[in-house]
Amino acid sequence: MQLPILSILIFFPVAGIGLLLFLNKENQRGLKIATMGIALVEFCFSLPLWFSFNGQTAAMQFVERRDWLPSYGISYYVGVDGFSLLLILLTTFLTPICVLATWEDIQHRVKEFMICLLALMSGMIGVFVSLDLFLFYVFWEVMLIPMYLLIGVWGNPARRVYAAIKFFLFTMFGSLLMLVAILVLYFHYGATTGTYTFDLLKMYGLNIPFHMQFWMFLAFGLAFAIKVPMFPFHTWLPDAHTEAPTVGSVILAAVLLKMGTYGFLRFNMPLFPQAAHYFVPLFSILALIGIIYGALVSMMQKDLKRLIAFSSVSHLGFVMLGLFTFTMPGVQGGIIQMINHGLSTGALFLIVGMIYERRHTRMIADFGGLSTPMPVYAAIFLIVSLSSIGLPGLNGFVGEFLILLGTFKTNKLYAVLGATGVIFAACYMLWMFQRVMFGEVTNDKNRDLKDLSWREIVIFAPLILFIVWIGVYPSTFLDKTKATTENFLAMMDKAKDTKVSLSQVFKGEAP
């Protein structure tokens, strides 16, 4: 019998919480070490996923299935394919890094913080592996609570509560409408096939009338678009990112936002393929607005963290643009860009967090000339910034290039507009870098800043390793996703040429 790796991945952090409950809350160091151990063990558990994953097939792997509520067609059904593999690994890879980053940052209520972190980890993995709509929804919601607490309890005192509630309500709004859509889908599937089930893969094959696809696509799409976040649903993001503690921002940017884009790939598009094709212009244009608007707003930010937060809107716009091309390079670029954004933006938030620990400010105007007292910091910051901009040889380039390639195949105008986003990215990142790192040290408080400690270098080393690896040899990762993407595209192609009009939708006629 095969080991139930996915269940272990989901529930090991929960077991870890049980362990932490027995530790003395005064023993902060012990708590951190214990969490670090749990996170590392979890990472080791996730390695077999990578090594025994078969990239040649689009089928779900490591599948586990148990009845949960059989009379309702609900089962505990998990599995991994090319879409989720990298995201799971990203999650397990980043969590130990996050724990390491809390070493100095989190000094009060450490125990509760670590419990939230582990609960969040379990929830995130659950979201990525669920193949049952009910199970997915449960994880999707459960994961909100620890994140809400992370922002609200350990965030910036001034506005953390506002940001936490805004985050919670925005996400909840989308997901509740998605719940109704899930129910409609469930009963529609039951009515057409006679079996009632929440099994996602079975629903893929269902031929849903377009007027239903239209509304359900919008309901699911709203939930995911808020999470991504796409323009104009992005307003929770700058607040949540800025007010969250460093580690909260890292996880939020690196993993939570990916749930939105992953949701589009896993649920929205394959479930409602005709509607997905129908909505390509709308979503592409929203993605383009996100790219350009996010970049322009970034440029104007005075606060480093807010700048990075808005850059996320721009980067995620790229991902969405790529996914909605329904071409091989576009979708693969989108997937790899999700990982890239996780690595680069995660690293950027860590970088800002470290300077914040030293100076207790994040205002660009308070800095200047930091490269003199902190040369190692400057080098790492530069590499990560360049990766975020998309310099060839680093990871960002691969993702953005593939996305633009895919977009160019389908719509040249979108590609041209999207490409401006890369230029803007160079503008805001380099300008920010110049103001923070170069020139004379103008503020005396910055003169004697300590450079990075060993612990901090260890945090960045693995991140930079993968930033370069993906930049130089992306095939390692693309190969794993190839078969799944091909299968996905074949599924989408079947629904390509449906001619529909809005009047049919409102009259409820099936084409």
* The binder of another protein chosen from 15, 47, 183, 510 (CB under 8 A): 183
Tell whether residue 76 is a contact of another protein (CB under 8 A): no
* The binder of another protein chosen from 33, 144, 280, 427 (CB under 8 A): 144
Token match 């979108």: residue?
Answer: 414
- Of 505, 481, 330, give the one whose Cα is nearest residue 411: 330
Scanning 65-73, 86-94, 326-334, 418-426 for contacts with another protein by CB under 8 A, the matching segment is: 65-73
Q: Which residues lie closer than 8 Å to 384 by C-beta, 6 or more apart? A: 344, 347, 348, 351, 460, 463, 464, 467
The pair of structure tokens assigned to 322 is 């790529």
Q: Are the C-beta atoms of 181 and 220 separated by less than 8 Å?
A: yes
* The binder of another protein chosen from 43, 113, 137, 236 (CB under 8 A): 137
Q: How far apart are CA 126 and CA 140, in angstroms?
A: 8
DSSP 244: S
Q: How far apart are CA 392 and CA 240, in angstroms?
A: 31
* The binder of another protein chosen from 5, 94, 149, 319 (CB under 8 A): 149
Q: Which is nearer to another protein, 72 or 506 (CB)?
A: 72
User: What is the nearest approach in angstroms of another protein to the Cβ of residue 10?
Assistant: 13
Scanning 78-86, 167-175, 259-267, 456-464 for contacts with another protein by CB under 8 A, the matching segment is: 167-175
Tell whether residue 164 is a contact of another protein (CB under 8 A): yes
Site size with another protein, rule: CB under 8 A: 34
Q: Which is nearer to another protein, 81 or 239 (CB)?
A: 239
Tell whether residue 142 is a contact of another protein (CB under 8 A): yes
Q: Which is nearer to another protein, 109 or 359 (CB)?
A: 109
Tell whether residue 506 is a contact of another protein (CB under 8 A): no
* The binder of another protein chosen from 14, 27, 187, 282 (CB under 8 A): 187
Q: Are the C-beta atoms of 254 and 90 separated by less than 8 Å?
A: yes
* The binder of another protein chosen from 48, 70, 392, 508 (CB under 8 A): 70
Torsion of CA 166, 168, 172, 175, to 10 degrees: 110
Assess whether the previous peptide bond of 232 is cis (omega < 30° from 0). Answer: yes
Q: How far apart are CA 406 and CA 327, in angstroms?
A: 6
Q: Between residue 216 and residue 235, which ones bind another protein under the rule CB under 8 A?
A: none
Q: Are the C-beta atoms of 243 and 160 separated by less than 8 Å?
A: yes
Strand partners, 80: 61
Q: Which is nearer to another protein, 57 or 195 (CB)?
A: 195
First vs last C-alpha separation in the chain: 48
Q: Which is nearer to another protein, 152 or 474 (CB)?
A: 152
Tell whether residue 129 is a contact of another protein (CB under 8 A): no
Residue type, 18: G
Residue type, 377: Y
Q: How far apart are CA 265 and CA 18, in angstroms?
A: 34
Q: How far apart are CA 448 and CA 438, in angstroms?
A: 16
**Cα-atom radius of gyration of the chain, to the nearest Å?**
22
* The binder of another protein chosen from 12, 113, 128, 186 (CB under 8 A): 186
Q: How far apart are CA 511 and CA 499, in angstroms?
A: 8
Q: Which is nearer to another protein, 2 or 24 (CB)?
A: 24
Tell whether residue 23 is a contact of another protein (CB under 8 A): no
Scanning 170-178, 258-266, 287-295, 501-509 for contacts with another protein by CB under 8 A, the matching segment is: 170-178
* The binder of another protein chosen from 11, 50, 68, 431 (CB under 8 A): 68
Tell whether residue 184 is a contact of another protein (CB under 8 A): yes
* The binder of another protein chosen from 141, 303, 366, 486 (CB under 8 A): 141
Residue type, 299: M
Q: Which is nearer to another protein, 166 or 306 (CB)?
A: 166
DSSP 228: T
Separate counts of helices (H) and strands (E) for the chain: 23, 2
* The binder of another protein chosen from 71, 194, 499, 503 (CB under 8 A): 71
* The binder of another protein chosen from 33, 40, 63, 138 (CB under 8 A): 138
* The binder of another protein chosen from 8, 23, 33, 153 (CB under 8 A): 153
Compose the 78-117 pattern: x for residues touching another protein by CB under 8 A, - for all others: -------------------------------x--x-----
Q: How far apart are CA 243 and CA 323, in angstroms?
A: 30
Residues near another protein (CB under 8 A) are 68-72, 109, 112, 134, 137-138, 141-142, 144-145, 148-149, 152-153, 160-161, 164-165, 168-169, 172-173, 176-177, 179-180, 183-184, 186-187
